[in-house]
Chain A
Amino acid sequence: MPKKTSALLPTLALALGAALALTGCGAGTAAPAGNAAATKVLGGTIQYAHQQEPSCVFGGWIEQAYLSYQVLDNLVSLDSNHKVVPWLADSWSTSADGLTWRFTLKKGVTFTDGTPVDAAAVAYNFDYWLKGGNSTAQVWLAGYYKSAQAVDSQTLQITLSAPYPRLADTLTQGYFGIQSQHALTTRTAAQNCEAPIGSGAFIVKKWNRGQNILLTRNTNYASAPANAKHSGAPYVNAIDWKFVPDATTRAAALKSGQVDAIYDVPSIEWSTLKSGGFQLDRYVTPGRPQQLTFNLSRAPFNDENVRKAFAYSLDRKAIVQTIGRGVIPFEGNGGVSRTTPGYSTAAAGAYTSDPAKAEALLDAAGWTGRDKDGYRTKGGTTLEVVLPYGAGSIINADGAAILQGIQEQAKGVGFKVRLVPVPQSELFAGAYAKPTEKDLSVGYWTAVTSGILYVNWKQSTAAAPNYNNAAFVNQPELEKIILAANSESDVAKQNALYEQAQQYIADHALAIGVYDRLSTLAVSPRLKGVWQENAQGGPVFDDAYFVK
């Protein structure tokens, strides 16, 4: 009775069956299709699956800006042509010396706690951000902001210490959302963190940590930005803003009809969803792209030749195009991304794949030996560089695959790249932030202007440390160019100066671009009117409605 050997077969069959079931269940198609004559249905709850859960609704991370955008209004908004348009402010003007800005506020707007949105409340917000209420707003305004005061109930005056012609553009980002002064001063920090009070289209109803945030409709909403598709309260009753970290699960939930919209669509799912009738939106985030900044404070990247050798060793374009499958754009520029005003194509093209040049540069830099694994050595030390990355937070699965490609390409000329995936909790607790812990920093920083260069390259001093300078060595010459650009009121001249700064970064190989960070959205055919706002690419649900 040699029966036992055949036990293998049922087991294998079971495994195969399970595998097929798994792959099969992901291949479902869209819900209703061909709804050209679909009718608008008021009400309903949008089931939205987002990737990452921040610690507070309002804060200095883009994930917070996406959320706070639903709840808070800004002074101004950005339209699809990068023009600043009214939001809470109807109009604004600048003094001749560029140091005084005046914003005239809309009348009759109230926060959801009933207090008025007046100039005093907005002025309070400016001081609140600068005192640490929003870390990103703080780094943008520090060095320029002097004071904010209410001239009268509807007129806000901002005084600067140096001209900053792009102030209005900057204020369109979610980090500058206006909260109720009454709520900020009378409620606990925890309450303002969990459910900030604004005048926005939605109100935070409940946050189930680790699961979802329920946002309900602000029935009195009357302060939509000028570029909104309609004025007045949202069409839907609520948004169930779920946190689903796994991209495959998000895509499967959308296909099976469990959710109506998802954020961060994996590039591999792009074509399937498109052919399935889903609305797909892609926003190439302006600001700092996903780039690699070299740590100049220690060997081996304190040597410019070694930095250039690293850049030449890579075929970044090939790897990004393969992994990105035509969805993720390659970005050669280490300063700003292609959608940022003042972008330099020359700086972006500074380094193309040239392994022979990389080898020659490494030879010249003295990295001539080889260890047993074929990596280059100098004086017995292996040419090893540490590259930590925020796995699942700053870098998604596609990004991680791109970094693995970079690791392998750099190996070709003798670099040993040690990739260290850092979980979100550790990353935000400060892991791998010190110059002694890494040689390369990867990451993005969304912004609407090239002014991001100042945030990233401002000199760090004892009095005013700049923790955002990942090169860890001050570049006074570069800072001078950026400062001149920041205060230049002529747009053409300003762009020329920003381009000069990007060229400086490329010439000295301080940072190299890898790919442009995307904000992507896939929406079910039963939900219409969802769009991506233009400052940061977050989903806008104010104009969204269901159809049947």
Chain B
Amino acid sequence: MTSLLTHNGILSPRRVTAVPLGLIASVATVVLFAIAVASPGLIATHGPFALHLQESLHAPSLTYWFGTDESGRDLYSRVVYGTSQSLLIGLGATGVSLSLAVLLGSIAALSNRFAAGVVNRVIEVLFSFPTLLLALLLVAILGPSILTQIFAVGIGTAPGYARIIRGQILSAKNSGYVEAAISLGHSRPRILRQHIIPNALRPLVAIIALSVGQSIVWASSLSFLGLGVAPPSPEWGALLDSGRAYITQAWWLTVIPGLVIVALALAATTLGKYIQKALERGER
């Protein structure tokens, strides 16, 4: 995913000439999720916890769009009400991840050789852990909760982004315009403020969009493993986990929350790509 950011060739604006269907679909998806967060009652058809004991394990129908679970709870409404929690985790984890990444990446790129060396090694050590393993480790230490999930996913994904940011800062630092600024006698803080930071951190906007989708997927993985939010929370990963017990009889309990996670991750990724392209056009 991150490699897309560095291959500018495939993101040439000239190639997008027809109707940007992906963009429209992504914006529509994000708007829908935004409504689900702001006012879930507006689009939900039932309460997220309301039991309809006579309607247990009904396949998707006109009454229950996404079907019902073992207690007859409406899956569609649970997905809608679960959006805010899932997005909170996604955005929170992205916030934690990028804050940490900016801090580590900046030190690695801008400080003296010793500090940069130490931070680089730290990033490399963290990087050598698979993201999920690092997140699992944190959940094991801190115990499962939303906050833990945010930090576990945030810290787990930070090393990758730290490397990107370090690379961006280094390339800005060594660019011709910075050399020109140095030769013009601009002060170090001014060069940082006016040239390096804006140029190095611009791709972050796209990374944020990409990271939100990715974080939701990671957080869902933790919930799926029973290490996230406790049931009967409608958080998407928790929905996947509880649907697992019925996978042979009620496919909708796992497939639909899974597709919802895919839809949001795709929408966020597509938007991220368009934002990046827009920023590049702005540069030209």
CB-based nearest B residue for A255 = B248
CB-based nearest A residue for B23 = A5
Tell me whether B33 is interfacial, beta carbon within 8 Å. Answer: no
Cα of A15 to Cα of B264 in the assembled complex, Å: 14
What count of chain A residues pass the 8 Å CB interface test?
43
A5 touches B20 (CB 8 A): yes
Tell me whether B62 is interfacial, beta carbon within 8 Å. Answer: no
Tell me whether B15 is interfacial, beta carbon within 8 Å. Answer: yes
**Set of chain B residues within 8 Å of A2, measured between Cβ atoms:** 16-21
User: Which of A252, A322, A401, A421 makes the CB contact (< 8 A) with B248?
Assistant: A252
**Set of chain B residues within 8 Å of A20, measured between Cβ atoms:** 251
User: Which of A4, A11, A268 makes the CB contact (< 8 A) with B249?
Assistant: A268
User: Which of A16, A19, A323 makes the CB contact (< 8 A) with B70?
Assistant: A323
**Set of chain A residues within 8 Å of B244, measured between Cβ atoms:** 246, 248
Cα of A22 to Cα of B252 in the assembled complex, Å: 12
CB-based nearest A residue for B248 = A26
Cα of A521 to Cα of B243 in the assembled complex, Å: 23
Tell me whether A462 is interfacial, beta carbon within 8 Å. Answer: no
CB-based nearest B residue for A14 = B262
Cα of A391 to Cα of B232 in the assembled complex, Å: 13
Residues of chain A in range 311-349 having any CB-CB distance to chain B below 8 Å? 318-319, 321-323
B247 touches A23 (CB 8 A): yes
**Set of chain B residues within 8 Å of A252, measured between Cβ atoms:** 248
Cα of A248 to Cα of B70 in the assembled complex, Å: 15
Residues of chain B in range 252-281 having any CB-CB distance to chain A below 8 Å? 254-255, 258-259, 262, 266, 270, 273
Tell me whether A192 is interfacial, beta carbon within 8 Å. Answer: no
Tell me whether A272 is interfacial, beta carbon within 8 Å. Answer: yes
Cα of A421 to Cα of B244 in the assembled complex, Å: 17
B residues with a Cβ closer than 8 A to A are: 15-23, 25, 49-51, 53-54, 56-57, 70-72, 226, 230-232, 242, 244-251, 254-255, 258-259, 262, 266, 270, 273
Cα of A163 to Cα of B196 in the assembled complex, Å: 89
Cα of A269 to Cα of B57 in the assembled complex, Å: 13
Tell me whether A429 is interfacial, beta carbon within 8 Å. Answer: no
Rank and list the top 3 A-B pairs by shortest CB-CB distance, nearest first.
Answer: A26-B248, A5-B22, A2-B18
With known contacts A2-B21, A7-B22, A266–B230 Cβ distance under 8 A:
no
User: Which of B17, B49, B230, B250 makes the CB contact (< 8 A) with A421?
Assistant: B230
Query: A391-407 toward B: CB 8 Å interface, digit per residue (1/0)?
Result: 10000010011001101
**Set of chain A residues within 8 Å of B226, measured between Cβ atoms:** 391, 421
A319 touches B248 (CB 8 A): no
Cα of A384 to Cα of B23 in the assembled complex, Å: 46
A residues with a Cβ closer than 8 A to B are: 1-2, 4-5, 7-8, 11-12, 15-16, 19-20, 22-23, 26-27, 246-248, 251-252, 266, 268-269, 272, 318-319, 321-323, 391, 397, 400-401, 404-405, 407-409, 411, 419-421
B231 touches A404 (CB 8 A): yes
Q: Can you list 8 contacts pairing A with B, beta carbon distance less than 8 Å?
A: A4-B22, A4-B273, A248-B245, A268-B248, A272-B249, A408-B232, A419-B230, A421-B230
**Set of chain B residues within 8 Å of A319, measured between Cβ atoms:** 51, 53, 71
User: Which of B22, B51, B71, B250 makes the CB contact (< 8 A) with A8?
Assistant: B22
A323 touches B18 (CB 8 A): no
| Chain A interface mostly | helix
**Set of chain B residues within 8 Å of A7, measured between Cβ atoms:** 22
With known contacts A319-B53, A409-B51, A5–B72 Cβ distance under 8 A:
no
User: Which of B56, B232, B248 makes the CB contact (< 8 A) with A269?
Assistant: B248
With known contacts A8-B266, A19-B251, A266-B245, A405–B231 Cβ distance under 8 A:
no
Cα of A15 to Cα of B259 in the assembled complex, Å: 7
Determine which residue in B22, B25, B54 has the highest number of CB atoms from chain A within 10 A of its CB, and name it: B22
**Set of chain A residues within 8 Å of B20, measured between Cβ atoms:** 2, 5
Cα of A269 to Cα of B251 in the assembled complex, Å: 14
**Set of chain B residues within 8 Å of A404, measured between Cβ atoms:** 71, 231-232
Cα of A409 to Cα of B53 in the assembled complex, Å: 11
**Set of chain A residues within 8 Å of B71, measured between Cβ atoms:** 319, 322-323, 401, 404-405, 408
Determine which residue in A7, A19, A272, A391 has the highest number of CB atoms from chain B within 10 A of its CB, and name it: A19
A22 touches B231 (CB 8 A): no
A26 touches B247 (CB 8 A): yes
A12 touches B262 (CB 8 A): yes
Cα of A502 to Cα of B217 in the assembled complex, Å: 50
A322 touches B231 (CB 8 A): no
B25 touches A16 (CB 8 A): no
Give A20 Cβ to nearest chain B Cβ, in Å.
8
Give 4 A-B pairs besides A8-B266, A248-B244, A268-B246 with Cβ atoms closer than 8 angstroms: A2-B17, A2-B21, A4-B22, A11-B262
B254 touches A22 (CB 8 A): yes
Give A178 Cβ to nearest chain B Cβ, in Å.
39
With known contacts A22-B247, A269-B248, A318–B50 Cβ distance under 8 A:
no
B231 touches A421 (CB 8 A): yes
Cα of A318 to Cα of B51 in the assembled complex, Å: 11
Give B66 Cβ to nearest chain A Cβ, in Å.
13
Cα of A421 to Cα of B249 in the assembled complex, Å: 25
Determine which residue in A11, A404, A421 has the highest number of CB atoms from chain B within 10 A of its CB, and name it: A404
A8 touches B248 (CB 8 A): no
CB-based nearest B residue for A252 = B248
B230 touches A322 (CB 8 A): no
With known contacts A2-B21, A269-B248, A407–B72 Cβ distance under 8 A:
no
Cα of A234 to Cα of B255 in the assembled complex, Å: 45
Give A187 Cβ to nearest chain B Cβ, in Å.
34
**Set of chain B residues within 8 Å of A246, measured between Cβ atoms:** 244
CB-based nearest A residue for B22 = A5
**Set of chain A residues within 8 Å of B50, measured between Cβ atoms:** 408
Determine which residue in B15, B254, B255 has the highest number of CB atoms from chain A within 10 A of its CB, and name it: B255
CB-based nearest B residue for A7 = B22
CB-based nearest A residue for B250 = A268
**Set of chain B residues within 8 Å of A5, measured between Cβ atoms:** 20-23, 25
User: Which of A11, A247, A419 makes the CB contact (< 8 A) with B232?
Assistant: A419
**Set of chain A residues within 8 Å of B250, measured between Cβ atoms:** 268
CB-based nearest B residue for A25 = B248
CB-based nearest A residue for B14 = A1
Cα of A405 to Cα of B22 in the assembled complex, Å: 41
A268 touches B245 (CB 8 A): yes
CB-based nearest B residue for A247 = B245
Cα of A527 to Cα of B230 in the assembled complex, Å: 39
Cα of A8 to Cα of B21 in the assembled complex, Å: 10
Determine which residue in B25, B54, B230, B232 has the highest number of CB atoms from chain A within 10 A of its CB, and name it: B232
**Set of chain A residues within 8 Å of B25, measured between Cβ atoms:** 5, 8
**Set of chain B residues within 8 Å of A27, measured between Cβ atoms:** 248
Determine which residue in B19, B249, B250 has the highest number of CB atoms from chain A within 10 A of its CB, and name it: B249
**Set of chain B residues within 8 Å of A4, measured between Cβ atoms:** 16, 22, 270, 273
Cα of A185 to Cα of B16 in the assembled complex, Å: 82
A322 touches B72 (CB 8 A): yes
**Set of chain B residues within 8 Å of A248, measured between Cβ atoms:** 244-245, 247-248
User: Which of A19, A268, A272 makes the CB contact (< 8 A) with B255?
Assistant: A19
Give B226 Cβ to nearest chain A Cβ, in Å.
8
